[in-house]
Amino acid sequence: MRLPLAAVVAVAVAVAACGGAKPTAVAELVEGQGAVEREHGGGFASAPNGQPFFVGDAARTGTGAWARLRLRDQAVVRLGAETLVRFVAGGARLETGEALAEAGPVTITTEAGLAQIEPGGVLRAIGGAGGVRYQVDIGRAVIQREDGPLTLEGGGGVVVAIGGAILERITPPDPAPDAGAAVAPPPVPPPADTIAATVKGRGVTSRTGSEPWKPVAAGAAALAAGAAVKLPRGATLELVRGNDRATVSGPAEVTIGAPDGPIVSARSGTTRVVARDTEVVVTVPGGTIVTRAGGDTGIEVGRRETVARVERGEVALDGDKSDASARAGETGVLGKDGAASVRDLVPSTIDVALPTGENVVIHDPTRKVAVKIDLAGACPGGGVLELADARGSYRAPRRIGGTSAAFFAVVGTTRYRIRCDSGGAVKSGSVRVAGDTGAAAVVRTAPVNLIETDGRKYSVSYQNRLPALTISWSEATGASTLHVLAGGGAERSFESSGSHKLAAGTLAEGSHTVWITSGSRSSPRTGLRIGFDNAAPTAQITAPPPRAPWSDAVSVTGVTVEGWSVAVDGKPADRDGSGRFRAEVDTAGKGTFAIRLAHPQHGVHYYLRRRR
């Protein structure tokens, strides 16, 4: 099941004519509030106002944050909270969240074609099983297509598949009827013992027995049990029996099932099964795949095997050779020889429970951690957690749906996002597992760095305290003035008769430009970036060791530095003025507990302790 990435905001990109030319910025951060970050070279860091973005970079906003970006064509795009935009050759791809055309119209590229959002319009992209839903929440957008322009008003949208085929047009909701107006009765679903078929797209053909293939028009289709159906790319066939349904996406070849048997027999292609009232059976080469009531499964029939990606509920794989069962988040595999197996196993026990929307680092020497993410807090009516692949892409995410929580194992770094069933805002976060034990001593002193104003760019990282800096110019004589221009535009100056020594914390984290004037002469302007070292120890855990036998009560002790809060097993720890902390944990029946450290700017870290 492949989901295309969201819309592309078109910007002009200047390509250097020779290999030695410097790359040209394609966007600039004009203003932001809250956590606004730039990804460059594979890592995210805080982005100050004025931050340029180049092809390959990404801009990301956190929970409750927003940002305004000025593009190369001077259009201004406002990014809402929890939004990720990645700049690529020829444009900028909106991967999550929403974008608003703020100053003038903004031209975007979608799977449906080039679209222009009018000033004040908001575009949102929502991934789905059969394609991507582009929705204009406010204002208007016009998509230029070969068959003529398509206008989307506020509340309207379109669902498109890979390749540009329109699967569904979404019309804006009608205004509320007058109090005295008659209300039309809700549509009545088909009887539970019949299968209703609906075709979307062109080029669909069908036949019964050995009859010639005949075209099937879009809309409700009269397809008898046993009829074979071929669907080209971009076409879909929806089969409904009561409240249960199976949606087949082309290219595919299937056979319509009987009302009292499997709903469909799939020879090739992708089928999305939603089982509500009863179990839904799909016949595939090598056996059958049964989605239990309450389940949601994507089934893809390949040349050698059929893959069932379970999003909700449970699926049984009844193979001719062996059987297996898979639950939400797992992948069932049924070979053409009838052998069944399960991949992407979901952990049966949990090491740590995490709230939604946090970027956390988990310290555990086992390097594999079973994580629980709360869904109910983000989506009261239920939602789906999507896990990005190893490259951080959501093009074909692993999906885990439910109403309370999602469980998965983390090795290395895993990015995730949560989509609510109600269509609410997307929440995103990441989990990284580090193999240290927390035994390393915490650095409590500020680093000292020497900077020469020679026109080069300096990068200074610190662990727990902002650095002390000694800034000098070899050509300065007598008294001199140090000028510091912060990324936000504020300028400060310092006087000295020699090197300029700035105490720890004088310059904040972020980008600065520094230069020294002496008499009528000035040194070259020199770039200085101060950044937090995310790999630095945030705490030293002195007890207990990573694996230790413990009774029902365990004493936890350690030390951290100023600015970090400490909680052990969900309860705040006692802490003195020197940063030492202590807590008592009731571990009856527990094999694992977590020590949580949080900092307003530097993130969240968990140190795991396991019973030996």
pLDDT value at residue 539: 86
Listed by start position, the domains of the chain span 8-170, 196-343, 352-434, 448-531, 539-611
Specify burial of residue 461 (Cβ count, 10 A radius: 0-12, 13-18, 19+).
middle
Give CA–CA dist 409/372, Å, rounded: 9
Q: Which residue type occupies 372?
A: K
DSSP code of residue 201: S
pLDDT value at residue 90: 65
CATH 2.40.30 for domain 448-531: no
DSSP code of residue 157: E
Question: Which sign, positive or negative, has the C-alpha torsion 595, 61, 511, 10?
Answer: positive
Beta strands in 328-466 (DSSP E): 331-335, 340-343, 352-354, 359-363, 369-374, 383-387, 398-402, 405-410, 413-420, 427-434, 448-452, 457-462
- Which residue blocks in 119-196 are alpha helix, DSSP H? none
What's the pTM value of the predicted model, to 2 decimals? 0.58
pLDDT value at residue 3: 36
Q: Which residue type occupies 280?
A: V
pLDDT value at residue 163: 63
Strand, helix or coil at 75?
coil
Find where tokens 């019973």 sit: 611
Give CA–CA dist 494/483, Å, rounded: 7
Identical fold for domains 196-343 and 539-611, yes or no, is no
Give CA–CA dist 465/563, Å, rounded: 10
What is the CATH number that goes with domain 352-434? 2.60.40
User: How many Cβ atoms from other residues are within 10 Å of residue 602's Cβ?
Assistant: 18
pLDDT value at residue 472: 94
Cβ-based neighbours of 51, under 8 Å, separated by 6 or more: 28, 29, 38, 487, 511
Q: What is the 3-state secondary structure (H, E, C) of 239-273?
A: EEECCEEEEEEEEEEEEECCCCCCCEEEEEEEEEE
Give CA–CA dist 241/8, Å, rounded: 38
Q: What is the 3-state secondary structure (H, E, C) of 388-422?
A: CCCCCCCCCCEEEEECCEEEEEECCEEEEEEEECC
Measure the N-to-C terminal CA separation of the chain; round to a whole number of Å: 41
Residue 437 token pair? 């034990």
Cβ-based neighbours of 225, under 8 Å, separated by 6 or more: 195, 256, 257, 258, 259
Cβ-based neighbours of 188, under 8 Å, separated by 6 or more: none
539-611 architecture in CATH? Sandwich (2.60)
Topology of the domain covering 8-170: Jelly Rolls (2.60.120)
pLDDT single digits (tens) 89-110: 767 776 767 777 765 677 766 6
Q: H/E element holding 205?
A: strand 205-207
| Best CA proximity match to 333, nearest among 292, 285, 295 | 285
pLDDT value at residue 131: 63
Q: In what order do the strands lie in the sheet with 106-110?
A: 43-46, 36-40, 58-61, 84-88, 91-96, 8-9, 106-110, 113-117, 140-144, 150-153
User: How many Cβ atoms from other residues are within 10 Å of residue 186's Cβ?
Assistant: 6
pLDDT value at residue 104: 67
What is the CATH number that goes with domain 196-343? 2.60.120.1440
Q: What is the 3-state secondary structure (H, E, C) of 125-136?
A: EEECCCCEEEEE
Residue 241, φ and ψ in degrees, nearest 5 = -135, 105
Q: DSSP 3-state helix, strand, coil percentages of the chain (rounded to 5)?
A: 0, 55, 45
pLDDT value at residue 78: 81
Q: Are the C-beta atoms of 347 and 362 separated by less than 8 Å?
A: no
Q: Are the C-beta atoms of 111 and 45 separated by less than 8 Å?
A: no
Give CA–CA dist 287/290, Å, rounded: 10
Give CA–CA dist 94/83, Å, rounded: 8
80-113 burial code (b ≥16 CB/10 A, e <16)? bbbbbbbbbeebbbbbbbbbbbbeeebbbbbbbb
Residue 354 token pair? 């995490």
Residues of the chain with pLDDT under 70: 1-22, 90, 94, 96, 102-104, 108-115, 120, 123, 125-132, 137-138, 162-164, 167, 172-194, 424-425, 534-535
